């Protein structure tokens, strides 16, 4: 069957079972949009290309599928860069299709030309410039395969306008084989056995689980292993939900804003089992005093993550789920009993009781209270995205995630403006779900234009702005470490967020007193429309516990 390049592209998307594309048209992709006009694939017209990528990213995190976006050359392509870098840092599978000027003009500083392949080389897992129409199906097949396999990540395909206009025979390759890319899936059995021996020997083990557990869909296996061996589990920011937050073995998050018990447990454990985590500096603090008494086991699909920051004693390279399955199978057969954990779990319980996350509610609304109320009133049954800053940390601390893929946050890059478009993408995937973006008044203004998109497509995303009239996290650092010189971190002017929502055709609500919080959330959850809730919260509130950057994680400033 002979097809035009633009049609081939869409057929490839169909073959990959792509249900939604987030995009924005322009000169170089007009032919693709021409073909899209009568095609069955759903296209969501965002209002900024950065949001297209974040939306595809939110879609991917919530579903586990590859997120797809489509933008034009030049400024369309460069607008995607922050979104791509965000997905790259968090290992989110995306395929980004960018238009490009015709091949004959490439390199000539043509109108709307940008070397997007060059620009995105360091922030994509791989990228392609298609120079021959015959390659297009293979490139598409490879791109989806690379994006979702191994350690997932974004893959960009640059499509020159003339190539998209050529015709060629279409057949989609069944198999994909890249001689230089064969990720290790199965863990080495001998290494797994060595790890198991340590599991049994340890008196004070802790599992430190990260985003890799979510990405490899290994939550059930992780839960089974932790239960079977009574090993407490702390998760990273990216790992929230991969182990039930309400499970008695759950220690909560570790690191800079982690719980007291998680940081203490890691500091005093004799065995640390890192699963799909990468010893990020926000987790470890001072490396020399991170798990200083522990043997370290590390399960990860990416060999570069192993011994990058911390020397690992027993590395196991492979897919976390496969490794955990093999561990469970080996334990199941042996009928082994792990060591008695009573005293270790008792020690942890004492840490927990000694330092709760309680805060005092005064006259002003406490931001933590808002997050707790959202949790309570949704019964935790919702998808939560966040912006970046204090809002993100409070959401992580005060919402309990019992299931994976319900938590969308920019962990690695820390991109303000991520949460709202990510929520939009998740809502496209799950139209019936409750999707809440927990936002800051600074961050929300970085992609506020997407209000038009959610109204147009009737995506009832709820935006809860924890409005402290400042860049809270910046203000917090200035308060604690810069002698309270609040240099350019306070907003002297804000739009009226309620009127702003209304101007876009969404619903605007506001709460200024603690007793207004609950009714306003109930109202927002009841309407089947996008809602902004402007929670006017206490300005000076800080996120605690806090470990100063670079300090040992046991060195916590507590509430």
Applying CB under 8 A, which part among 4-12, 122-130, 369-377, 431-439 lies near another protein? 122-130
Binds 473: which of another protein, ligand TPP, none (CB < 5-8 Å by kind): ligand TPP
List Cβ neighbours of 353 (8 Å cut-off, separation of 6 or more). Answer: none
Among residues 252, 472, 226, the alpha carbon closest in space to that of 356 is found at: 252
Q: Please name the residues in contact with 495: beta carbons below 8 A apart, sequence gap of 6 or more.
A: 445
Establish if 40 lies at the interface with another protein (CB under 8 A): no
CB 457 within 8 A of CB 435: no
Per-residue b or e along 149-167, where b marks 16 or more CB atoms closer than 10 Å to that residue's CB: bbbbbbbbbbbbbbbbeee
Rule CB under 8 A: say whether 129 interacts with another protein: yes
Out of ligand TPP, another protein, none, which partner does residue 442 contact, by CB within 5 to 8 A per kind? ligand TPP
Give yes or no for a contact between 157 and 140, defined as CB atoms under 8 angstroms apart. yes
Nearer to another protein, 124 or 392 (CB): 124
Contacts of 525 (CB under 8 A, 6+ apart): 377, 378, 434, 462
Q: How many CA atoms lie within 13 A of 230 on its CB side?
A: 17
**Interaction between residue 463 and ligand TPP (CB under 6 A):** no
Q: Should residue 132 be labelled a site residue for another protein when binding is judged by CB under 8 A? A: no
Q: How far out from the chain centre does Cα 83 lie?
A: 11
Return d(Cα 75, Cα 112) in angstroms, integer: 7
Distance between CA atoms of residues 251 and 245, nearest Å: 8
Q: Choose, from 15, 19, 112, 430, the residue flagged as catalytic.
A: 112
Strand duo 271-275 + 94-100: pairing = unpaired
Stretch that binds ligand TPP, among 87-95, 183-191, 348-356, 468-476 (CB under 6 A): 468-476
Backbone conformation region of residue 111, classed left if phi is above 0, alpha if psi is from -120 to 50, else beta: beta
Determine whether 49 is an active site residue. yes
- Cis (ω within 30 of 0) for the bond into 545? yes
Which residues, including other chains, have CB under 8 Å from residue 506's CB and lie 6 or more apart? Answer: 451, 454, 455, 529, 530, 531, 532
Q: Among the candidate windows 88-96, 100-108, 119-127, 267-275, which touches another protein by CB under 8 A?
A: 119-127
CB of 156 to another protein, least distance (A): 12
d(CA 170, CA 11): 9
User: What's the CA gap between 300 and 65, in Å, rounded?
Assistant: 20
**152 interacts with, out of ligand TPP, another protein, none, CB within 5 to 8 A per kind:** none
Q: Name the residue number minimizing CB distance to ligand TPP.
A: 440
The 248-287 site mask, x for binding another protein (CB under 8 A), equals ----------------------------------------
With binding defined as CB under 6 A, does residue 390 bind ligand TPP? yes
Nearer CB in complex with another protein: 157/416: 157
User: 416 with 466: CB under 8 angstroms?
Assistant: no
Q: Which two tokens stand for residue 358?
A: 């309680």
The one of another protein, ligand TPP, none whose footprint includes residue 217, by CB under 5 to 8 A per kind, is none
* Closest approach of ligand TPP to the CB of residue 217, in Å: 29
> In angstroms, what CA-CA distances link 160 with 98, 123, 156, 295?
9, 21, 13, 52
Choose which of 212, 245, 440, 460 interacts with ligand TPP (CB under 6 A): 440
Q: With binding defined as CB under 8 A, does residue 246 bind another protein?
A: no
Contacting ligand TPP (CB under 6 A), which of 67, 244, 252, 472?
Answer: 472
Bridge partners of 234, per DSSP, are 208, 252
Query: Which x/- pattern over 161-200 shows residues binding another protein (rule: CB under 8 A)?
Result: -----------------xxxx-------------------
- In the complex, minimum distance from the CB of residue 207 to another protein, in angstroms, rounded to a whole number: 24
In the residue annotation, 112 being an active-site residue is answered as yes
Beta strands in 372-493 (DSSP E): 383-386, 407-408, 435-440, 462-467
Dihedral in degrees, nearest 10, Cα atoms 235, 238, 243, 248: 40
180 or 246: whose CB is closer to another protein? 180
**Is 161 one of the annotated active-site residues of the chain?**
yes
Choosing among ligand TPP, another protein, none, which partner's interface includes residue 390 (Cβ < 5 to 8 Å by kind)? ligand TPP
Nearer to ligand TPP, 51 or 196 (CB): 51
126 interacts with another protein by CB under 8 A: yes
User: Smaller CB distance to ligand TPP: residue 123 or 466?
Assistant: 466
Q: Please tell me whether residue 412 binds ligand TPP under the rule CB under 6 A.
A: no
Q: Which of 253, 473, 546, 556 is catalytic?
A: 473
Q: Is 468 in the site for ligand TPP (CB under 6 A)?
A: yes
Which residues are identified as catalytic?
49, 111-112, 161, 473
Q: Which residues bind another protein (CB under 8 A)?
A: 117-118, 121-122, 125-126, 129, 146, 178-181, 302-304, 307-308
């Amino acid at each position: 069957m002979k097809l035009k390049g633009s049609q081939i592209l869409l057929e490839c998307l169909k073959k990959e079972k792509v249900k939604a594309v987030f995009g924005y048209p322009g000169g170089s992709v007009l032919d693709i949009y021409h073909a899209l006009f009568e095609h069955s694939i759903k296209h969501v017209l965002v209002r900024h290309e950065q949001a297209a990528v974040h939306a595809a990213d939110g879609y991917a995190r919530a579903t586990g599928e590859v997120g797809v976006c489509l933008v034009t050359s030049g400024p369309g392509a460069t607008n995607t860069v922050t979104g791509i870098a965000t997905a790259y840092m968090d290992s989110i599978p995306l395929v980004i299709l960018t238009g490009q000027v015709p091949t004959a003009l490439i390199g000539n500083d043509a109108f709307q030309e940008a070397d997007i392949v060059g620009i995105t080389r360091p922030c994509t897992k791989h990228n392609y410039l298609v120079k021959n129409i015959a390659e297009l199906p293979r490139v598409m097949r490879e791109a989806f395969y690379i994006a979702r396999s191994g350690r997932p990540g974004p893959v960009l395909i640059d499509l020159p306008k003339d190539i998209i206009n050529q015709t060629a025979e279409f057949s989609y390759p069944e198999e994909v084989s890249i001689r230089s890319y064969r990720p290790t899936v199965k863990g080495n059995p001998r290494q797994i056995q060595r790890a198991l021996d340590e599991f049994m020997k340890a008196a004070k083990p802790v599992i430190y689980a990260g985003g890799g557990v979510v990405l490899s869909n290994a939550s059930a296996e992780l839960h089974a292993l932790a239960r079977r061996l009574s090993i407490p589990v702390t998760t990273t920011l990216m790992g929230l939900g991969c182990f039930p937050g309400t499970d008695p073995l759950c220690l909560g998050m570790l690191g800079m804003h982690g719980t007291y018990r998680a940081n203490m447990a890691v500091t005093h454990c004799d065995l640390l089992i890192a699963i799909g985590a990468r010893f990020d500096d926000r987790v470890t603090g001072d490396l020399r005093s991170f798990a200083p008494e522990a043997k370290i086991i590390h399960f990860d699909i990416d060999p570069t993550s192993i011994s990058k920051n911390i020397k690992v004693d027993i590395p196991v390279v492979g897919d976390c789920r496969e490794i955990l399955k093999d561990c469970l199978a080996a334990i199941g057969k042996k009928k082994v009993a792990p060591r008695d954990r009573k005293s270790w779990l008792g020690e942890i319980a004492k840490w927990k009781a000694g330092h709760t996350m309680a805060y005092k509610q005064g006259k002003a609304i406490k931001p933590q209270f808002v997050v707790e109320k959202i949790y309570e009133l949704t019964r935790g049954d919702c998808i939560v995205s966040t912006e970046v800053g204090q809002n993100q940390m409070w959401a992580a601390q005060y919402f309990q995630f019992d299931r994976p893929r319900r938590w969308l946050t920019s962990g690695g890059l820390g991109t303000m403006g991520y949460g709202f478009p990510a929520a939009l993408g998740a809502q496209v995937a799950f139209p019936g779900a409750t999707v809440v973006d927990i936002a800051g008044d600074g961050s929300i203004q970085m992609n506020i234009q997407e209000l038009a998109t959610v109204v147009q497509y009737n995506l009832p995303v709820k935006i809860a702005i924890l409005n402290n009239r400042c860049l809270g996290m910046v203000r917090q650092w200035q308060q604690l470490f810069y002698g309270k010189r609040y240099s350019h971190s306070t907003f002297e002017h804000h739009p009226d967020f309620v009127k702003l929502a209304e101007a876009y055709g969404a619903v605007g609500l506001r709460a200024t007193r603690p007793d207004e919080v609950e009714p306003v959330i109930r109202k927002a959850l009841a309407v089947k429309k996008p809602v902004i809730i402007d929670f006017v919260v206490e300005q000076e509130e800080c996120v605690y516990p806090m470990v100063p950057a670079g300090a040992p994680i046991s060195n916590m400033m507590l509430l």
